[in-house]
Amino acid sequence: MSQKPLVELKDVKKRIGKKDIIHGLTFDIYGGEVFGFLGPNGAGKTTTIRMMVGLMSLSGGQILIKGKNIESHYKQAISEVGAIVENPEMYKFLTGYQNLIHYRRMVKGVSKGRIAEVIELVGLTNRIHEKVKTYSLGMRQRLGLAQALLHSPSVLILDEPTNGLDPAGIREIRYYLRQLAEKEGIAVIVSSHLLSEMELMCDRIAIIQNGKLIGVQSTKEFVESGTERKVRFLVDDPAAARHAVSHHVKAERITLGNEYLEAEMEREMIPEVTATLVVEGVKVYGISSETKTLEDKFLEVTGGKEIV
Amino acid sequence: MSNFIGLIQNENMKIYRRMGNLIMILLLIGFIGLTGILTKTDKTKPVSDNWKQELKAENAAMQKTIKKEPMMKSHYERSIALNEYRITHDIKPVDAKSQWSFVGESPDAIQFILIFTIIVAGGMVASEFSWGTIKLLLIRPVSRTTILASKYLSTMLYALLLIIITFVFAWLWGGVLFGFDFSPGTHLSYANGKVVEENIVWHMWKEYGFASILLLMMATFAFMMSTIFRNSSLAIGFSIFLSMSGTVAVQLLSKYDWVKYILFANVDLKQYFDGTPLIKGMTLNFSLSVLAVYFVLFTALSWLVFKKRDVAA
Ligand SMILES: Nc1ncnc2c1ncn2[C@@H]1O[C@H](COP(=O)(O)OP(=O)(O)OP(=O)(O)O)[C@@H](O)[C@H]1O
Ligand SMILES: [Mg+2]
């Protein structure tokens, strides 16, 4: 991960009419990472993305792309950005290829070879000379991606990129976005309200709700971190088990059930505790660990009701 | 600059790759084709060799009726003056069934060009919003002003193309139907009590020019409506309605002095060259100023709205 952030949001606010939609978002996104932008419907993901690409003005704060302010230095800032905002709507009466030619004419220095390259990349070679109106949703999504990558941007912003893709397509795009981040050092920003998907492809995830940032977390930390989790041991004698584990785990972290013992501990502790139980002659029928996934966190912070 | 040409190419691609816009061109060609056939099969006799006698007889008849119908006085005076000029200067009337007479009528087609251009102009910005493509169009290193300018210019180029197609096709079709004639005759016009001789080609382009003023203003208006309301039906419907009713409304209201500030009272500049101004005191410079004010208003409004608007399509 590079040192200087490629995208900086500083207390970004948006007010439409009398309604505050975004209440001051601050976070940085670095080159080489896939950054997830997670929130329930209506959280303000698309609105934030619109501000990041200059489609909407900011009511407060600023957005810098490679240090360039998107509002005051629009052309320089936007040159670094490739994006899909909501659905990738293309000119339906043109072919996929003509659509790409259209966008090529709007930037400097994109060769015909580059067009062929991105077409190949998104796997549209066979259908590129057909009219877009004959494309399926997934194919349009791919064409949208091709359009966003055309000018080799250093920041890629995709609003719900897996929308309409089949499982194979989702896996492909996930793999591909990771490649872009890792191999080319691009900052990839994806929004979604599907957490499971985000966990698989993002390095860090920002959770927003009602236009407020709830937190930015590293996905890795969550999956393998030392954070404690509840581990349940199915045992024949919970009381004996408590005695056995008492010098590993503090008493207040232990709960007893009818035929089980639950203890909060770090992942690394599990084998040790298990061994102790066995040595002490407690019969262990099963061990289950309840990882606190981002989803739990997400459900926790968003109340769980609003997620689709 | 090369960038701007690219943008024009883009807009042209979006105009001409759509069936509807091509069909309009075909309709225009069809209209000219049909007019040609109607003229060809018309019963009027060609101008005879003793046309001087005929014109004299015509004049004598008009001298008589002029007393009975004082309302039509200026109309008759004009015809009589033109006929006399022909007789004294030995200028044979142009045969209706000739290539150049046919080409000379082609500026009539501009009323269709007006409607077709309004249709294109009214969709220019609004369609990008309804297609949703505006989002991808605007996130490029090109200013919104430049994009709007390329859209406006492409609209005008479409109108220009239709005019050129009209002229070229009328010339070709006229030649096919009536025989090619490479020495266009003379057109006579009558202004301020005097007869003026003009080359027929020059006269025709002047007709195109006069008619193009309404075209330019209404296309700009439709373009503005398209930008402000992002609704092509509204922009097109309203602009066509105004184009058709505006001139008539202005005639009906011509007794009021304030009417001279209305756009439609000023779009017909011919009133200063070949006719009388709609309202006393109106001059060519006055009309040009009024037109300029409307033009600046239309373009400035489009620009301001397009530049400032949050795109939430
Ligand atoms: N043009 C607008 N005028 C008024 N309110 C708007 C406008 N655009 C968006 N909003 C409001 O802003 C809030 C955020 O909308 P936004 O589209 O950014 O949500 P989102 O996070 O992208 O949701 P989704 O997951 O459904 O795509 C919503 O409450 C929405 O109603
Ligand atoms: Mg959204």
Could you read off the pLDDT of A183-227 as tens digits, one per residue?
989 999 999 888 778 888 899 999 898 999 988 888 876 555 556
Q: Are B133 and A91 spatial neighbours (Cβ–Cβ below 8 Å)?
A: yes
B278 located within any domain: yes
Domain boundaries, chain A: 1-80+153-225, 92-152, 229-291
Give the residues across from A264 on adjacent strands.
A230
Residue B13 domain flag: yes
| Contact check, Cβ <8 Å, A103/B310 | no
Higher model confidence: residue A21 or residue A244? A21
Residues in A closer than 8 angstroms to B146, CB to CB, are: none
Tell me the CA–centroid distance for residue A160 and ligand 2, in Å.
7
Amino acid identity, position A271 = P
**Domain count within chain B:** 1
- Flag whether residue B131 sits within 8 Å of chain A, measured between CB atoms: yes
pLDDT over 50 at A308, yes or no? no
What is the per-residue burial (b if ≥16 Cβ within 10 Å, else e) of A90-116? Answer: bbebbbbbbbbbbbbbbbeebeeebbe
Question: Could you tell me the pLDDT band of residue B5, with boundaries at 50, 70 and 90?
Answer: very high
Residue B101 has pLDDT above 70, yes or no: yes
CA-to-CA distance for A133 and A137, rounded, in angstroms? 10
Sheet strand arrangement including A34-38: A81-84, A155-159, A187-192, A34-38, A204-209, A212-218
Mean pLDDT, to the nearest integer, of B142-151? 96
B193 domain-assigned: yes
Adjacent-strand bridge partners of A205: A36, A217
Which single residue is written with the structure tokens 């691009």?
Answer: A186
Is B52 inside a domain boundary? no
pLDDT score at A99: 97
Would you say residue B90 lies in a domain? no
**Residue ranges making up the domain that contains B213:** 2-40+97-308
Q: Where residue A2 falls among pLDDT bands split at 50, 70, 90?
A: very low
Confidence of residue B306 (pLDDT cuts 50, 70, 90): very high
CB-based contact B294:B263 (threshold 8 Å): yes
Checking DSSP bridges between strand A260-265 and strand A254-256, what pairing results, if any?
A: antiparallel
**Residues A229-291, CATH architecture:** 2-Layer Sandwich (3.30)
How many helices and strands, by DSSP H and E, does chain B display? 13, 2
Per-residue tokens: B131: 């297609």
pTM: 0.85
> B2 or B128: whose pLDDT is higher?
B128
- Our answer on whether the CB atom of A49 is closer than 6 Å to any ligand 1 atom is no
Q: Residue A272 is encoded by which pair of tokens?
A: 């040790």
In percent, the amount of chain B with pLDDT more than 70 equals 99
Structural domain includes residue B51:
no
B1 at interface of A, judged by CB pairs closer than 8 A: no
Average the pLDDT over each of A59-73, B66-80, B83-97, B253-267 and give the range with the smallest value. B66-80
pLDDT, position A178 = 92
For chain B, what percent of residues have pLDDT higher than 90?
A: 58
- Residue A44 Cβ inside 6 Å of ligand 1? The answer reads yes
Rounded to whole angstroms, the Cα distance separating A84 from A171 reads 19
CATH class in words for A1-80+153-225: alpha beta
Whole-number pLDDT of residue A199 = 82
pLDDT in tens, B13-43: 999 999 999 999 999 999 999 999 998 888 7
- pLDDT 10s digits, B180-207: 888 777 888 777 778 888 888 888 888 8
Q: Report pLDDT for B2.
A: 60
CB atoms A78 and B6 under 8 Å: no
The reported pLDDT for the residue numbered B193 is 74
Task: Name which of B185, B167, B173 is nearest B106 in CA terms.
Answer: B167
The shortest CB-CB distance from B6 to any of A16, A88, A106 is to A106
**Closest ligand 1 atom to Cα of A308:** 25
Q: Are the beta carbons of B136 and A78 separated by less than 8 Å? A: no
Contact A105 B139 (CB under 8 A): no
pLDDT averaged over every residue in chain A: 88
Q: Where are the alpha helices (DSSP H) in B17-143?
A: 19-41, 51-68, 73-89, 99-105, 110-124, 126-131, 134-138
pLDDT given at position A303: 61
The angle subtended at Cα B113 by Cα B112 and Cα B119, nearest 5°, is 95
Is residue B216 one of the residues assigned to a domain?
yes
Distance separating alpha carbons of residues B55 and B82, to the nearest angstrom: 10
Answer whether residue B70 is part of any domain: no
What 8-state DSSP symbol labels residue B255?
A: T
Name the minimum distance, in Å, from the CA of B18 to any CA of chain A. Answer: 7
